[in-house]
Chain A
Amino acid sequence: MTYIRSTFRHPALPKNELGYTVDYYEGSLSTLCAGCGHDSINAAIVEACWQLNIEPHKVAKLSGIGCSSKSPAYFLSNSHGFNSVHGRMPSVATGANLANRDLTYFGVSGDGDTASIGMGQFVHVVRRNLNMVYLVMNNGCYGLTKGQDSATADMGSKSKSGSVNLFEAIDLSSLAIELGATFVGQSFSGDKEQLIPLMKAAMKHRGFAFLNVISPCVTFNNNVGSTKSYDYVREHVQVTGTVDFAPMMHEITTSYEAGSVNDLLMHDGTEIRLHKLAKDWDPLDRISTINAMQKAKAKGEILTGLLYVNQDANDLHDVLSTTDKPLNSLPQSALCPGFEALEKFNASLR
């Protein structure tokens, strides 16, 4: 645990288009265990927001309960955050978003928070295509309650105490695609190069953007035999070699090998570039994605990158036909029908 952060900032720290250096996007000091995957993801969030030139106060950070859900305190200290109730972040995000459609909603959850107690709310927020980023820091266990198996722990995976998980794992990404999620990405906390562009694309997506990020728990689930350990994940990501479907903001270059390229225009006019390396798999085609994921599962591989994207679906505001102005900004004059209308109403009740 690093409790003391140096206040020294290199004077030549680069600035983004808004004139902010990256530290402007940081949060308070993390109290997570040293080496916890969640901290790397938080660092990636900071970097992604800085690169995207986002005004931090135009972001709302929401979470449930868990080590992962503490994260909103650790990035974007100029954003409002809500560390809410275990498994209920989706509902809070839904209400918040309905109240003010102009903010960017960044939700952080854990695998326990999402796949167990929060499963009901998760599936429904997907269905509603709420315009938000929903990031699961997936470590296959309940970190904050000291390491119990979660519902995303693979069958046969061994915990630190040596017990073997006997239940089928819930694959959140497949589930999200099944339920009609319009943006689904998968990544690994240790792969910043992939994670940052993926997050940026997710924030640019209008609709529900789901990011399932494997994020090892160094304290309770990083042992030999665990399928969510750093070693295991690194090996299996490398072995399958499918870290190739990261969307790129056009101004960003990466070291990913170029293959066939597909530029995708986001709603605000920015583009993401899909580098497509696998045959028979088009992230714009849901069926091909589902097939690829089923095949990977059979082979024990972890697919990472942008798995699926659909830019054309209506988000919740479209469906409800809400006004373009944030509901929380409407003046009393637009809301209250007033005395005269009430008198007419009374007359209809006699």
Chain B
Amino acid sequence: MISTKINDFVVRFANVNGTGSASANALFTKAVFRMGVPVTPKNIFPSNIQGLPTWYEVRVSEKGYLGRREGVDLMVAVNPQSMKKDYADVAAGGFFVYDSSKPLPPGYERTDITHLGIPMTELCNAQYSDARQRQLFKNIVYIGALATLFDIEFSVLEGLIGDQFKGKEKLIEPNITALNLGVEYVKQNFEYPLPLRVERRDLLGDKILFGGNSACALGAIFAGATVAAWYPITPSTSVVDAFAKYAAKYRVDPDTGKNNYAIVQAEDELAAIGMVMGACWNGARAFTATSGPGVSLMNEFLGLGYFAEVPSVLIDVQRTGPSTGMPTRTQQSDILLAAYASHGDTKHPLLFPATPKECFEMTADAFDLTERLQTPVIVMTDLDLGMNDHVTDPLTWDDSRQYDRGKVLSADQLDNIYSNGSAFNGKWGRYLDVDNDGIPYRTIGGTHPTRGAFVTRGSSRDEYGVYTEDGAAYQRNVDRLLRKWETAKELVPPPVFYSAPRLGDADAEKAETRPVGSVRDGVIFFGTSTDSSLEALELLEAGGITLDAMRPRAFPFGKAFREFVDAHERIFVIEQNRDAQFRSLIMIELGTDASKLISVLNYDGMPITADNIFRQIRDRV
């Protein structure tokens, strides 16, 4: 029996990398979005430019579940290489769409699914003479077919094609023709629509469909970053690509045509972070984007930045391990690497966005934080967040917001210090803690002819920046850095708390609070584990298991974080790595007993699913 599923199913497209399927598949996602229905696409792609299998999975969810879900209800299988497995992956009662230009070989005789053969190659060969067009439009043909099968309004697709080819109107007509080939074939050969259906709703309000990498880039633009230095690495490359695109749009001086920004493709990640530090040291806002292997290379500079107190923003789009690991798969596995990067006693503020909106906001915040705290700040996103589109709340910017440039002394302020005495007792010292918050006052080169110059170096200096290898001076300095760390705890974005039953949105402002401690056990998750965790909490709640939830958005952990941990008997820590790194971080920083923190892990390189979290917690409660 095939049950009817309105706005609640998963479609997977199995394609060959490099055949133009990406934009066609994105068209499908966008069409569902424009039907007013929550939708989540996931790219599952190989480290390859052409030829290997690639998948694109779309979850449609009336209830607004935006995490990945197990089980494929409809498979579009157009890759012979992976067909056998794709066929097996279709859930019972599901649908298998394939190119029937050639008959299916033996072995494709499941009786629990419905086969929908569409002769895509044949249709395209008859319509187009150019080989590339035949190839590309095959993808559009199946999108047209799906639209009819799912009952998606054709005008929505027309609108999207119109938007996509604005300025290239010549391309509109052949695309519409290809869509119609699919539409007509379905109408003549199958019963339609299917029991899987998209029905128009108004569930999205003013939400947008946006990717995390682009959002980080736009955050950097709004926050006034003028220097970007980087070295290409998946999945972070599109951060700087997007920055370049937005900078060309928003940052070209209208009078001179010259750029109010500079982007350098560095020779490696060491140089990239070095350039960022040089620029920040000299008073500009600068950032780099990389992934795990790049963070490894940046370690020495991150240590220098910590000790010499040089701001810099690093966006770590995490992925699965080394270059020959699974660079195109997602993970949250740089947590410890980033938190304690480098030599000596170092630790760095980390921000954990969970949505593209937060990518935008936290990247912008990172520039304020790094200058306020005078230490490198790392934005921890990942491939799932960065390289996939997500339904997210519209980006906002408060025009009254002023950049927080932190404690930077102007020429006048320097003169004042020397003439009036002030808190400095008449003499500025680069590493003096006059405000007792651990944060000293810095100066930028070129500010004052005779005041404020010093040589920046690691830690072999005293409060006045004067060279010394005196142990007591060293200790005073690193103890002050700990005071600064305490200050950081309440400056970084606070955690978000969720209470059952309706946990709702990943969006911070919409999360509800209830008195912490009224429920015995708690759960902690962050970043891209959020959507699936919230869904799993609802599944658990339905099964009679109620848990309090906290989503930390930053490291170091502040007072609210500690209170949550203290208030619960057991805490499940959900994260996407093997070694329970976030759990370790809690144990190290809070001294929490290991037995109290129970790990819920996923580390196969695929985004964590609600079903997976649900099973792991249910089995242990």
Residues of A within 8 A of B (CB): 28, 31, 55-58, 60-62, 72-73, 77-85, 88, 90-100, 102-103, 120-121, 123-124, 128, 316-317, 320-324, 327-328, 330, 332, 334-339, 341-343, 345-346, 349-350
Contact = CB atoms under 8 A, between A and B. Distances in A.
B274 A85 contact: yes
B450 A337 contact: no
B286 A95 contact: yes
Contacts of B279: 95-96, 98-99, 327-328
A323 B278 contact: no
A91 B270 contact: yes
Interface in B378-403: 394-399, 402-403
B453 interface: yes
A92 B258 contact: no
Which of A31, A73, A345 has the most C-beta atoms of chain B within 10 angstroms of its own C-beta? A345
Nearest to B399: A339
Contacts of A31: 467
Given A96-B281, A335-B251, A323 B258 contact: yes
Interface string B317-351: 00000000000000000000000000000000000
B267 A121 contact: yes
A81 B308 CA distance: 12
Contacts of A121: 267, 270-271, 274
Which range contains the number of B residues in contact with the other chain? 35 or more
Contacts of B223: 336
B278 A92 contact: yes
Interface in B254-277: 256-264, 266-268, 270-277
B301 A80 contact: no
A323 B256 contact: yes
Which of A62, A94, A320 has the most C-beta atoms of chain B within 10 angstroms of its own C-beta? A94
Contact of B301 (A88, A94, A124, A324): A88
Contact of A79 (B267, B286, B304, B445): B445
Contacts of B399: 338-339
Interface string B32-57: 01100000000000000000000000
Given A61-B455, A121-B270, A346-B395, A323 B446 contact: no
Contacts of B396: 339, 342
B282 interface: yes
Interface of B: 33-34, 206-210, 218, 221-224, 226-227, 229, 250-251, 253, 256-264, 266-268, 270-284, 286, 300-301, 304, 394-399, 402-403, 443-450, 453-458, 466-467
Given A81-B454, A99-B282, A121-B267, A57 B448 contact: yes
A98 B271 contact: no
B394 A346 contact: yes
A16 to B, nearest CB: 14
A92 B227 contact: no
Nearest to A88: B274
A261 B191 CA distance: 92
A321 B259 CA distance: 6
A238 to B, nearest CB: 37
B264 A94 contact: yes
Which of B276, B403, B448, B457 has the most C-beta atoms of chain A within 10 angstroms of its own C-beta? B457
A99 B227 contact: yes
Contacts of A97: 278
A227 B266 CA distance: 35
Nearest to B356: A349
A42 B253 CA distance: 41
Given A92-B277, A321-B258, 15 more contacts: A28-B467, A73-B467, A80-B456, A81-B456, A82-B457, A88-B274, A91-B273, A95-B282, A103-B282, A121-B267, A327-B227, A332-B402, A335-B221, A338-B397, A342-B397
